[in-house]
Amino acid sequence: MTSAEHSDLRTKQIFTTGEAAEICKLSQQTIIRCFDSGRLRGFRVPGSRFRRIPREGLIRFMRENDIPIDALENTKPRILIVDDDEQIVDLLVDVFKRDQRFEVKTATTGYDAGVLSEQFRPDLMILDYMLPDINGNVVCKTVRENPNLSNMKIIIISGVVNQEEIASLLRAGADEFFKKPFNIEKLLARITELLHL
């Protein structure tokens, strides 16, 4: 298994029976049998007989059967940092590096943020409100309108505090707002909370 495939498995939310077999180190036939017997919960693709297993169902199955879930569990939560100020980006990268729990990618524009959201499938995005090309609320809205990214958490950070703006950001789909300068510990605590870590 290539690292790219591995990475792909870690970001995946829905698995085929073949992929599930590989993750669980079982034969595909065993997976199919467990699926059909209901021990592995999943669904069939509408209009066909293809079986599909959601990530949660697979993890529960593995835990119930004492199958090591390293292949899934070891995948760190992915965080995308979006800020046009490189110093801020560097700071946050250092913060998460020190924390070691997260896999981090960075972007300095709204456009890059959009591209990376699709590729990297972050679990959480730290988004500066004032970007050179696009404002935070628009990014929020775009993300929320994309079903593939519906689970992604968004924390907005901004140097400008305006209660009305914050309220509108939260309405646009942001999960949290932090004012710059922010307390690292509080930020980490909130991230942990949002990602159920």
Partner 1 sequence: MPTTTDPAKPQRLELILREIDSLPTLPTIAARVLMLTSSEDSHIREVVDLISADPPLTAKILSLCRRADRGVRGGETLTVEKAVVLLGFTAVRNAVLSIKMFELYGPNASPYEQSGSEEPDRTVPRGQYRFDRTNFWRHSLAVAVASELIAAAHPQLPDLRPSEAFVCGLLHDVGKLALSYVLPKAFSRVIELAELHQTNIAALERRIMGLDHHTVGKRLAEQWQLPQVIQDCIWLHGAPFQTLPSVEHRRVIGLVGLADLVARYQHIGYSGNFTFKDKPEAVAEAMGLRPSVVQSITRELHGRLYEQSQLLGLDEEPSQELFFQSIQQANLALGRLNDMLEARTRAAADQTRILDAINAFHAQTPPNGTLQDVFDALVASAQSVFGQGYYALLYQPLSGTADAKTPSGRQWLMCQYGQRGRPVRTQWVEPPVHSPELSGLDPEQAVSVRLMGVLPWLTDYLLDSQDIRDVQLMPLRCGLGTVALILHDRPILPPWRQLQALTVTWASAIATAAKHDGAKRLSEELADSNRALAEAQDRLLHTQSMARLGEMAAGAAHEMNNPLAVISGRAQLLSMALPPGSKEHKAAQVIFEQSHRLSDLITLLRMFADPPRPQKKATDLSALLDATVKRVQAGLARPEQAKAITLKIKDQLPPATIDPLQIGDAIAELLLNAIQSSPKSSVHVTAQRDESVPGVVVQVSDDGQGMDPHTLSHATDPFFSAQPAGRRVGMGLARVERFAAAHGGKLELRSTPGVGTVATLTIPLDS
Give residues in contact with partner 1 (CB under 8 A).
85, 87-88, 91-92, 94-95, 98, 130, 157-164, 179-185
Burial 19-41 (b: 16+ CB within 10 A, else e): bbbbbbebeeeebbebbeeeebe
Cβ neighbours for 136, distance < 8 A, ≥ 6 positions apart:
127, 128, 129, 130, 156, 158, 169, 174
Is 111 or 182 the residue whose CB approaches partner 1 more closely? 182
Cβ neighbours for 58, distance < 8 A, ≥ 6 positions apart:
15, 20, 23, 24, 40, 72
Is 61 or 96 the residue whose CB approaches partner 1 more closely? 96
Is 12 or 101 the residue whose CB approaches partner 1 more closely? 101
Is residue 155 within 8 Å of residue 183, measured between CB atoms?
Answer: no
Q: How far is the CB of 97 from partner 1 (least distance, A)?
A: 10
Backbone angles phi, psi at 48, to 5 degrees: -150, 180
Is 9 or 82 the residue whose CB approaches partner 1 more closely? 82
Beta bridge partners of 135: 130
Q: How far is the CB of 93 from partner 1 (least distance, A)?
A: 11
Q: How far is the CB of 179 from partner 1 (least distance, A)?
A: 7
Token representation of residue 98: 């020190």
Q: How far is the CB of 20 from partner 1 (least distance, A)?
A: 41
Helix (H) or strand (E) holding 55: helix 55-64
Q: How far is the CB of 87 from partner 1 (least distance, A)?
A: 4
What is the DSSP-derived secondary structure letter of residue 103?
Answer: E
Is 59 or 93 the residue whose CB approaches partner 1 more closely? 93
